[in-house]
């Protein structure tokens, strides 16, 4: 692809990975896996804030409607991180689920959310030395809307790029050592994949290197990072044909992943690595480990973006079920204290609302109500006290309210009916 220049931004990483554009805040979140750090790059100021951790972090996905919460892959564990995006320390870090107890040296690699909000993340085997990975030890999982971890694909070498088609009927996937980009049929309602086949074979197209991270664009085509290939491929998903290539001219051989961002989603962000490069190689690869922005010099190259896949917010009600799990492990003393506090809060709110709420409705509000929350094809039911809700509409027949998850404060719309 002619007509572009290479611009490096942000801070240098040992192994930069998993870029995620946060449209609402116009910033890019990415990680440095062996550097054990989460990065927050702000293009408007040029700042790249870094949060150091104590374990390898594979991805950090922003939580919907929250400016400081992320679901991260930490070694073999999925965790919820709370970080203000500026400080060098985090506020909280809570484990969600840990996989593969039998293979403790495995770790998560790439992870993204599907358009329905499920988190998909894959693992890879132990890498004793760079490129020497225990074969067929990795797996691909999803963290479902009810908090269940589901296994979809096993016997993977290096689980990597994930992407979905615009209509959510296809799932694109990369196992790097297979040297192919594969496509599955995707059932969005069930969150399942089937009918795996090869979409694009790198060696057959004369491409050297390993396929790594990828993303889709508004034309439903793929942009694929090529590790050890110093390039990004643009691939037609209908024909499996190579549309074009962005070649970095050897200035960064280890290209790791891609994501679109910017005010008009016109900018391609590319992560890279300098892991295990010799001093001599570093001299010839000045962009190794940098966050790179290829800039178009012509009007013929327009980078497009698929918001459903790249926004990658966690839309699911997973935190609600996790809160229930956390609450069930509380001591009886803590539970009593929590109930007592809740009771006081309810009485206080009753006094405030008594004057403005009709008596008939007031009596209904004192009951335990069933919240039915429909998100896509998922139906989630939970018992909750009406006083935890912020009312937006009240009638004698039903109450339409907006509430937040008690743990992560994720907003959801709920229709409340009296049993």
For 206-327, list the strands marked E by DSSP.
210-216, 222-227, 231-236, 241-247, 254-261, 267-273, 291-296
Nearest to 183 by CA among 201, 174, 196, 194: 196
Cα distances (angstroms) measured from residue 349 to each of 56, 329, 355, 403: 45, 29, 11, 16
Between CA 96 and CA 323 the distance in angstroms is: 10
The reply to whether 220 belongs to the active site is: no
Nearest to 314 by CA among 99, 79, 35, 105: 79
Contacts of 39 (CB under 8 A, 6+ apart): 10, 11, 13, 16, 28, 29, 30, 31, 32, 48, 49, 50, 51, 291
Instruction: Write the DSSP assignment of 140-172 as a string of letters.
Output: EEEE-TTS-EEEEEEEESBEEEEEE-TTS-EEE
Between CA 360 and CA 270 the distance in angstroms is: 60
Between CA 218 and CA 214 the distance in angstroms is: 14
Q: Which two tokens stand for residue 362?
A: 């007031």
Cα distances (angstroms) measured from residue 102 to each of 25, 106, 125, 286: 40, 9, 12, 40
Please tell me which residue in 32, 182, 212, 287 is annotated as part of the active site. 212
Q: Are 263 and 246 in contact (CB under 8 A)?
A: no
Any bridge partners for residue 38, and if so which?
Answer: 31, 51
Mark out the alpha helices in 154-238 (DSSP H runs). none
Instruction: Write the DSSP assignment of 364-414 as a string of letters.
Output: HHTSEEEEEEEETTEEEEEEEEGGGSEEEEE-SSEEEEEEE-TTT--EEEE
- Catalytically active residues, by annotation: 212
């Amino acid at each position: 692809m002619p007509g572009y220049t290479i611009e490096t931004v942000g801070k240098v990483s040992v192994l930069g990975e998993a870029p995620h554009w946060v449209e609402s805040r116009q910033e890019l979140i990415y990680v440095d896996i062996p550097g054990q750090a989460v990065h927050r790059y702000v293009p408007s100021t040029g700042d790249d804030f870094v949060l150091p951790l104590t374990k390898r972090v594979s991805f950090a996905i922003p939580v919907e409607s929250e400016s400081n919460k992320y679901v991260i892959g930490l070694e073999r564990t999925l965790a919820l991180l709370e970080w203000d995006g500026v400080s060098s320390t985090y506020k909280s870090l809570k484990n969600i689920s840990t996989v593969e107890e039998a293979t403790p040296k495995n770790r998560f690699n790439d992870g993204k959310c599907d358009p329905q909000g499920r988190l998909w993340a894959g693992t890879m085997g132990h890498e004793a030395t760079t490129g020497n990975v225990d074969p067929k030890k990795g797996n691909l999982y999803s963290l479902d809307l009810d908090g269940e971890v589901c296994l979809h694909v096993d016997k993977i070498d290096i689980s990597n790029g994930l992407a979905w088609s615009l209509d959510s009927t296809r799932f694109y996937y990369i196992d790097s050592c297979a040297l192919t980009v594969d496509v599955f049929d995707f059932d969005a309602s069930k969150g399942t994949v089937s009918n795996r086949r090869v979409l694009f074979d790198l060696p057959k197209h004369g491409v050297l290197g390993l396929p790594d991270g990828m993303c889709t664009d508004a034309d439903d085509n793929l942009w694929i990072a090529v590790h050890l290939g110093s390039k990004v491929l643009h691939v037609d998903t209908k024909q499996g044909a190579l549309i074009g290539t962005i070649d970095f001219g050897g200035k960064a051989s280890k290209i790791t992943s891609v994501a679109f961002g910017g005010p008009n989603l016109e900018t391609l962000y590319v992560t890279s690595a300098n892991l295990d490069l010799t001093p001599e190689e570093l001299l010839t690869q000045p962009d190794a480990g940098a966050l790179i922005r290829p800039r178009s010099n012509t009007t013929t190259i327009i980078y497009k973006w698929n918001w459903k896949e790249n926004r990658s917010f966690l839309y699911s009600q997973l935190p609600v079920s996790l809160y229930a799990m956390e609450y069930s492990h509380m001591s009886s003393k803590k539970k009593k204290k929590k109930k007592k506090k809740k009771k006081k809060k309810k009485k206080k709110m009753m006094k405030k609302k008594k004057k403005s709420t009709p008596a008939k409705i007031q009596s209904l509000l004192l009951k335990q109500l069933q919240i039915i929350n429909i998100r896509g094809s998922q139906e989630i039911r939970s018992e909750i006290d009406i006083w935890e809700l912020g009312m937006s509409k009240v009638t004698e027949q039903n109450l339409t309210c907006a509430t937040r998850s008690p743990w992560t404060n994720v907003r959801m719309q709920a229709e409340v009916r009296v049993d």
